[in-house]
Amino acid sequence: MNNANFTAAALVPQILEGSVRATDVLDTVFATIREQEPRVHAFLQVTEDLARSQAEQVDRKIAEGKPVGPLAGIPIGIKDNLCVRGGRTTCASRILEPFVAPYDATVISRLRAADAVFVGKTNLDEFAMGSSTENSGFGATRNPIDLERVPGGSSGGSAAAIAAGMCVLALGSDTGGSIRQPASFCGIVGLKPTYSRVSRFGLVAFASSLDQIGPMAHTVRDAAMLLNVIAGADANDSTCSPDPVPNYVEGLEDGVRGLRLGVPREYFGEGLAPDIKSGLEKVIHRMEREGAELVDISLPHAPYAIGTYYLIATSEASANLARYDGVKYGFRAKDVKNLGEMYRRTRSEGFGPEVKRRILLGTYALSSGYYDQFYVKAQKVRTLISQDFESAFAKVDAILTPTTPDTAFKLGEKTSDPLQMYLVDIYTVSANLAGIPGISVPAGRDRSGLPFGMQVLGPKFGEPVVLRVARAVEMLRPGEAS
């Protein structure tokens, strides 16, 4: 069984009818993990015993004629900042290395009910702070398309696992592009839902007003199938929307005829790699030939998004990460003389350099005398960015942009220059600041053969139109560099 192009949409019907067993699918996945994982390092933990038990249960239910869930037997990778009861949840940080989650995140409970199969916890930048998965406390992940390059981040382990055929679906989290950017670098689909569409209960917090859990997959249809399972109200998350969840698979094949698609001039200017720009322009013009109306729009506050994001995100991170002090759980420094020394040594030894940098930035922005100058001003600009999108969506149904300014860069290329690393997310952070949905879908390859994605943005709770447009992009011939 070749799993290079495994999709949930193709496998679920075969598993339900009994022509393929869930355990057969799992055997193929684990054979690929044994071959690829030593080179790629997509996983922090491979949970073969749990996965086999879940797959066997699916096969047993089907043999006995019992109902099964919509993701029956589908192997899924889980980013290791999501709690899975009884297993370690490390956030790729030494400070949480010994922590065992006492409960399931809501999305995990829903995946269990859907009869998905958990193959392992995927690597990430420590506490989801990074754009390359090089900041992991347990070693970097490599891009399976080119092992000398990064897979993106912070959900790089999930993206790499799918691209290498080590799972069919994966969960990531997206605070400023951490699902969409690695999806672009690895040539897969990654969706950040509307803020509040998916419960954050059981997601270890980075920046609570920005974090969102979302699906990663080979195809748009698979991403829609996974979103169907994880979306919806949750009493454990007071920020989670009570609005009904539509069937995201319906309408995927409706095409773009009659849709108004916005093309923001700010996203196609200086800094965008020529191969990506020309490739995306080809795709956009093909969308027009398919019946879409292209509308030139402006998002005037887009240039301020990166600065705004890194003030708000680091401020929230400094507050959220204050709880890791060695008292309640996780790592605690040894041989300390007093409480103050325990706090200092636990945090200095347990956190990596990028996490420390962001805690310091956020603490400074929130400090007396600077709060109004930095944090309050950033929140005002965030409002302006949100208003830009509201104005744009009064004119268009969806917005088309690049996902990233360039294709995957080489390992170590940007680690010494944090600003250059931060700018990798220049096209993705605005969606988090505005709370709107966004998806990256493969749109072509550059002259080196590296993939790049097109980002489709929609209004709040506009996932149906975002998925519909993304599916249309997927159906078009990719915008290859020439």
* Orientation of helix 220-230 relative to helix 463-475, angle to 10°: 160
The Cα angle at residue 78 between residues 51 and 468, in degrees rounded to 5:
115
- 96 to 88, 99, 103, 136: CA distances (angstroms): 9, 5, 16, 12
Please list the active-site residues. Answer: 79, 154, 178
Query: Is residue 107 within 8 Å of 411, Cβ to Cβ?
Result: no
Query: Is residue 135 within 8 Å of 354, Cβ to Cβ?
Result: yes
Return the structure tokens found at 91: 């956030």
Q: Hunting for tokens 């997959």 — which residue is that?
A: 217
Q: What is the distance in angstroms between the CA of the first residue and the CA of the last residue of the chain? A: 35
Q: What are phi and psi of 365, to 5 degrees?
A: -65, -25
Alpha-carbon distance 58 to 76, whole Å?
A: 14
Query: Is residue 350 within 8 Å of 324, Cβ to Cβ?
Result: yes
Sign of CA dihedral 128, 133, 135, 140: positive
Strand order in the sheet with 293-297: 43-46, 117-122, 75-79, 169-173, 213-217, 189-192, 438-445, 451-457, 398-402, 260-264, 293-297
Please give the DSSP secondary-structure letter assigned to residue 134: -
Alpha-carbon distance 144 to 19, whole Å?
A: 30
Q: Hey, is 200 helix, strand or coil? A: coil
Query: Is residue 227 within 8 Å of 259, Cβ to Cβ?
Result: no
Can you say how many angstroms the Cα of residue 363 is from the centroid of all Cα atoms in its chain? Answer: 26
Say which residues have a Cβ less than 8 Å from residue 115's Cβ, sequence separation at least 6.
Answer: 54, 57, 58, 61, 68, 69, 70, 71, 72, 73
Query: Is residue 131 within 8 Å of 181, Cβ to Cβ?
Result: yes
Quick one: pLDDT at residue 1? 54
Strands in 235-337 per DSSP E: 260-264, 293-297
Q: Hey, is 286 helix, strand or coil? A: helix
Tens digit of each residue's pLDDT, the chain (482 residues): 555 458 999 999 999 999 999 999 999 999 999 999 999 999 999 999 999 999 999 999 999 999 999 999 999 999 999 999 999 999 999 999 999 999 999 999 999 999 999 999 999 999 999 999 999 999 999 999 999 999 999 999 999 999 999 999 999 999 999 999 999 999 999 999 999 999 999 999 999 999 999 999 999 999 999 999 999 999 999 999 999 999 999 999 999 999 999 999 999 999 999 999 999 999 999 999 999 999 999 999 999 999 999 999 999 999 999 999 999 888 999 999 999 999 999 999 999 999 999 999 999 999 988 899 999 999 999 999 999 999 999 999 999 999 999 999 999 999 999 889 999 999 999 999 999 999 999 999 999 999 999 999 999 999 999 999 999 999 986 666 54
Give pTM, 2 decimals.
0.96
Q: What are phi and psi of 428, to 5 degrees?
A: -105, -25
Return the structure tokens found at 48: 């073969």
Structural domains for the chain:
1-482 (3.90.1300.10)
How much of the chain is helix, strand and coil, in % rounded to 5? 45, 15, 45
Please give the DSSP secondary-structure letter assigned to residue 6: -
Quick one: pLDDT at residue 482? 45
Quick one: pLDDT at residue 480? 65
Say which residues have a Cβ less than 8 Å from residue 377's Cβ, sequence separation at least 6.
Answer: 311
